[in-house]
């Protein structure tokens, strides 16, 4: 990586954040359009939610393919191809003739958007390691967390004066912008001499070595389970907030935007704690707080509590996610520098793969029940704790309380 990039970490983080934000932007921006899309295609809520599932599957599969390709061919070329494909699929979504085609194109859109996530993370590992890696990734997460603040508000603003089609026209424009950014601004961070062989067997061996690492998979699954709960919220919240609590698309967007603030708070806590207490202990703090607040969510939905109580419980739960997300990534990938693309891909697909399973489950009880959401968020937080107990080798340090002091 060039010396210039190292001297401007904030500028570098801003550039990478644009690409990292593409995945959340693709998922979040059209959420307030769910009821409108359901009416346009004359379908049901589950089919509309299937378009979210399709995009999440695309984001998963895309990372597992594009990550290793970036280890072989460098970071810029796969990124450029993906941004062009993102533009084409976005415009295709806008003019889909039926919901089946729409779902298929959402998969392609998610597949191409995954390049922004996996390659940006690999580039961070190309440049940083140790505490610097933790702090930079926390900074990147903080900046990227602005996306949930902007995208739903932007989406609801668009459908207030045009149809849901306008949302996907805008994502197509974003695709053009990112293509230009890749050509003119993105520097290659992986020198030719550090790239891996294109031999398919060697690529498979890289994945096998990662899968055999209990700590790598453990951190990946723990983060993945918590993000699966988050994706369940993303899938169910448009119907829960608008159907059960009767709020408008605009108010929904404001409430949904709180997620970005909560993730920013969590990431800032990681940045402040990094270097003061061990990274694994920061991870444990995130897991424990996630369990406590997910239990609060469960109590609220079973008691049919007020909207304010649900919003506060979900906001607090997402702060925990903002802690676990960046710290689990740095713990998992720190020792995988030679195959950062593959490691970033495998780590990155878990949230989307698990999220694609969790998202449709929210709607099983219909549009007027929040109980499935509460159960999913609680169960995923419990699974994250169990993963830490059984898979992560360094376990729970006995000196946790002493370190915090």
Alpha helices in 212-339 (DSSP H): 214-239, 249-273, 279-302, 307-333
pLDDT at 294: 96
Structure token pair of residue 326: 């960046």
| Confidence (pLDDT) at 218 | 93
Q: How confident is the model at residue 145, as a pLDDT?
A: 73
Whole-number pLDDT of residue 393: 61
Helix (H) or strand (E) holding 401: helix 400-404
The domains found in the chain, sorted by start residue, are 3-394 (1.20.1250.20)
pTM over 0.85: no
Six token digits for residue 358: 């969790």
pLDDT digits (tens, 9 = 90+) for 206-246: 888 888 888 899 999 999 999 999 888 888 888 888 888 98
Please, which pLDDT band fits residue 27 given cuts at 50, 70 and 90? confident
**In this predicted model, what pLDDT tens digit does every residue of 334-381 receive, in sequence order?**
777 667 788 888 888 888 778 878 887 887 766 678 899 999 999 999
Answer for the pair 146, 13: CB distance below 8 angstroms, yes or no. no
Closest C-alpha to 220, from 126, 353, 56, 362: 353
Residue 75 above 70 pLDDT?
yes
Locate all alpha helices (DSSP H) within 240-278, ordered by sequence: 249-273
Q: Which two tokens stand for residue 245?
A: 């609590």
CA distance 18 to 36: 28
Share of the chain above pLDDT 70, in %: 93
Model pLDDT for residues 28-56, shown as the tens digit of each residue: 889 888 889 999 998 888 889 899 889 98
Q: In terms of pLDDT, which residue wins out, 97 or 275?
A: 97
Contact 243, 237 (CB under 8 A): no
pLDDT at position 338:
65
């Amino acid at each position: 990586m060039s010396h210039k990039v190292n001297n401007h970490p904030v500028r570098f983080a801003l550039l990478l954040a644009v690409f990292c934000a593409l995945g959340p932007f693709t998922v979040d921006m059209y959420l307030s359009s769910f009821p409108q899309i359901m009416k346009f295609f004359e379908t049901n809520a589950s089919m509309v939610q299937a378009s979210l599932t399709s995009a999440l599957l695309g984001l998963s599969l895309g990372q597992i393919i594009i990550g290793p390709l970036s280890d072989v061919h460098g970071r810029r070329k796969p990124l450029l191809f993906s941004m062009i494909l993102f533009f084409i699929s976005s415009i295709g979504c806008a003019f889909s003739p039926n919901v089946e085609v729409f779902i298929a194109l959402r998969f392609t859109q998610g597949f191409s958007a995954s390049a922004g996530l996996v390659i940006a993370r690999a580039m961070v590992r190309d440049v940083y390691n140790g505490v610097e890696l933790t702090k930079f990734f926390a900074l990147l997460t903080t900046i990227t967390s602005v996306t949930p603040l902007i995208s739903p508000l932007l989406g609801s603003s668009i459908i207030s004066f045009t149809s849901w089609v306008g949302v996907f026209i805008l994502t197509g424009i974003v695709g053009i912008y990112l293509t230009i950014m890749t050509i003119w601004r993105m520097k290659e961070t992986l020198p030719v001499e550090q790239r891996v062989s294109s031999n398919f067997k060697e690529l498979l061996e890289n994945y096998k070595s990662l899968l055999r690492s209990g700590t790598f998979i453990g951190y990946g699954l723990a983060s993945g389970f918590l993000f699966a709960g988050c994706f369940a919220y993303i899938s169910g919240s448009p119907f829960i907030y608008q159907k059960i609590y009767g709020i408008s698309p605009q108010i929904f967007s404001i409430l949904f935007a709180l997620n970005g603030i909560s993730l920013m708070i969590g990431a800032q806590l990681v940045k402040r704690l990094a270097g003061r207490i061990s990274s694994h202990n920061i991870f444990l703090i995130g897991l424990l707080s996630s369990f406590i607040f997910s239990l609060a969510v469960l109590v609220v939905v079973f008691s049919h509590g007020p909207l304010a109580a649900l919003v506060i419980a979900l906001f607090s739960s997402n702060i925990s996610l903002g802690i676990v997300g960046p710290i689990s990534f740095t713990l998992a990938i720190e020792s995988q520098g030679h195959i950062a693309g593959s490691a970033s891909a495998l780590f990155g697909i878990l949230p989307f793969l698990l999220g694609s399973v969790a998202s449709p489950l929210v709607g099983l009880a219909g549009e007027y029940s929040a109980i499935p959401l509460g159960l999913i968020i609680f169960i995923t937080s419990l699974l994250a704790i169990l993963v830490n107990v059984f898979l992560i080798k360094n376990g729970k340090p006995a000196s946790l309380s002493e370190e915090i002091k």
